[in-house]
């Protein structure tokens, strides 16, 4: 459930908002829905990994990957596919850590409620 919420919201919002909005979406979704640390991190990571691959392909396919190939050359990568994977990996790590942070914030407030 968490995976699909992050995936759908990020896919829709990424067309009009900056790239870092995925961290906010993952944080808020995990704040309310995540069940465990592994569930939060993996759901956030996988959802944004998929979303960023889709978005990159959506932008790159119409121009036959010319710009992606040139940027890959600038980074000394052999082809644009490695650039795509590196981009998706970075986005996945950002969202995974944001989702994990959302879960940990919720758990920290639960612990302080039990102590009082």
What are the structural domain ranges in the chain?
2-115
Evaluate whether 6 touches 26 at the Cβ level (below 8 Å): yes
Predicted pLDDT of residue 113? 60
Of residues 4 and 112, which shows the higher confidence score? 4
Evaluate whether 94 touches 5 at the Cβ level (below 8 Å): no
| pTM summary value | 0.89
| pLDDT, average across residues 49-65 | 94
Predicted pLDDT of residue 110? 84
CA angle 12, 92, 96 (to 5 degrees): 100
């Amino acid at each position: 459930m968490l995976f699909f919420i992050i995936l759908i919201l990020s896919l829709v919002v990424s067309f009009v908002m900056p790239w870092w909005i995925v961290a906010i979406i993952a944080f808020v979704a995990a704040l309310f829905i995540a069940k465990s640390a592994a569930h939060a991190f993996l759901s956030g990571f996988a959802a944004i990994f998929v979303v960023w691959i889709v978005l990159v392909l959506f932008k790159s396919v119409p121009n036959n990957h010319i710009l992606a190939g040139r940027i890959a050359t600038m980074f000394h990568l052999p082809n644009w596919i490695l650039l795509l994977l590196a981009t998706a990996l970075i986005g996945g790590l950002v969202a995974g850590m944001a989702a994990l942070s959302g879960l940990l914030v919720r758990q920290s407030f639960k612990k302080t409620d039990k102590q009082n």
